[in-house]
Structure 1
Amino acid sequence: MAALSVPTHMKAWVYHEFGNTADVLKLDTNYPVPEINENQVLVKVVAASLNPIDYKRIHGSLKALNYLPPSIPGYDVAGVVVKVGSEVKKFKVGDEVYGDINHKALDKPKNVGTLAEYTATEDKVLALKPKNLSFLEAASLPLAMETAYEGLERAGLSAGKSIIVLGGAGGVGAHVIQLAKNVFGASKIAATASTSKQDLLRSLGADQPIDYTKENFEDLPEKFDVVYDAVGQADKAIKAMKEGGHLVSIAAPVAGFPDAFFLLTSDAVILEKLNPYLESGKVKPIIDPKSPFPFSDTLEAFAYLETSRATGKIVVYPIP
């Protein structure tokens, strides 16, 4: 199938300088569509989800790593392949795909992200969209689900081991609970969240929901084989860990635990490995009730993300 007709310019949310998202992120209706190289595909974006790393880059928190504007935010994508590079064998034009477009979260992330009508990325980070999921649902998954999975693998979670998840109702934490239960076979799952999210924790598979507004998880007499810190409470997290246990953190490096902190390596292999669990419904997308935000309301979506009160993922859809 030949490449679909692709315009030379597109609509995209772009920032040309660092600053507060509401001040610097602007809708550009005439931004150049990215070119692809031989191992890349061009994707017509249908839906994209937001992640904290998006606004951290906009704010300039990572500028020391030489991430210079102009940039289009967005890591997660679900869409349709409209052009393939000469070396790409994995996909063809018309394939419905999803993924996190940046192989290494902080290593030369792409300046043309997913909050645009088109984005270009390597075929190795994309997988075919599960047939039972909508583009909206698929876009919510890649970065959060892959991060959850990589952390559990790093921590050595396996059948019969216990785990506590700090921030169990967030984008990553909601997947940690589901994967720990349905993929890794954890014997007991505890998780923290606010009062209104206790039922969600149970529905995800938590055996012991903990309301952090009423109870200090670090004071529990029971300790855990694995502590997964998705919120940045490393000092407390260590107190919840069994002797010889494992700590993983996606929030910040942990003093005394040099291997605890990690940044995702995006790889379609994880998405493909989890595809049976997605198609069987054992692992489900968790999308915040306020989603989706239409493309025109992307600034409102970011404002909500930056409150840190979202349940699951915030998705922008449809993208024109």
Structure 2
Amino acid sequence: MSYSVILQNKYDLSPLVENISLIDSLDQIAYMATISLVVTPDFPVITPGDEIRISGIPYGSVGSKVPLLNPGVVWETSSTASTAKHISITVYDRTIYLAKSEDECLFAANTTAAQRLRKHASNWGIKLAEVPDTEISLKRAMYRPQTIYSMIQADLKETAKGGGELYVPRMTAAGLSLVKIAGNEPVWKLEAIEEITQSRTLEEAATRVKVLGTETNSGEAPAKVLAIADGQTAEYGVLQIIVQEDDVKTASAAKRLAQSKLRGVGTTYSVTCPDLNTLRAGDKVILNGTALIAVSVTHQLGDPGKMSLELAVFEDVKRRYYL
């Protein structure tokens, strides 16, 4: 078969696989898999914490298998028995430890998101692969107890707000990387679409943005209004949000911040099509001639497989996840 599941580097479970799903999203750091298997008399004991990996032949290739989720850790198991016994395994890549672990961290000013990521990886024994220079110097950060992933997200958001690129952490067989949103090669063109749904909503729209300064010491007077930006108020009415940023010092900076927060109708596309098994959340695809970003992807591995995607334009991804 074109996919393999190896437990503890010695048990080949591939012939027992009933189905495999891989789930990735910009809302999560860890790549997740669910694997359903038939249990045989010589089936090995599977315990949460066991190492496991999933490999497959990339779509469009006739070569050898490549890692799809490696290194993986068994997180949960569930078994059922009727005429035959079956087991379902939930697997995550090792960034799950950054999502589930909490800490308190102090980072000096003028360090970058990349430097801070390296520090987290060192603290938690996670091997690093390619971590590009994120370039934007960040302000001093005192992170009270929270998950490591939330700290990483905050640093990547501050990088984007400072004019830097958009990055997503991603675990590969080589180690933890920072991958630029829409920086993938090749860029796949989605074809043979089985189903496509377009959703448009004003739910997260902001047609007016008001930027406020810090509150007064007395707390009895309203905060100073630094800037107001209007967008599509004539079309959609006034949907106002308030932004309060301690670091905004000038009227021009406040105006730029306000304009960056304006957003109109949000559009997303839900697509079901043949599987591109190496496609990840944050990758760019082409749908009907339009460049879109995969916000989430679910692979149903198989020969052939199928995938379900949620897609959005780059600017919507930037506003929704980074601003």
What TM-score comes out, normalization by structure 2 length?
Answer: 0.28
Larger gyration radius, structure 1 or structure 2: 2
Pick the structure with more helix per residue: 1
Q: Identify the structure with bigger relative contact order (alpha carbons < 8 Å, sequence gap 6+).
A: 1
Normalised TM-score (structure 1): 0.28
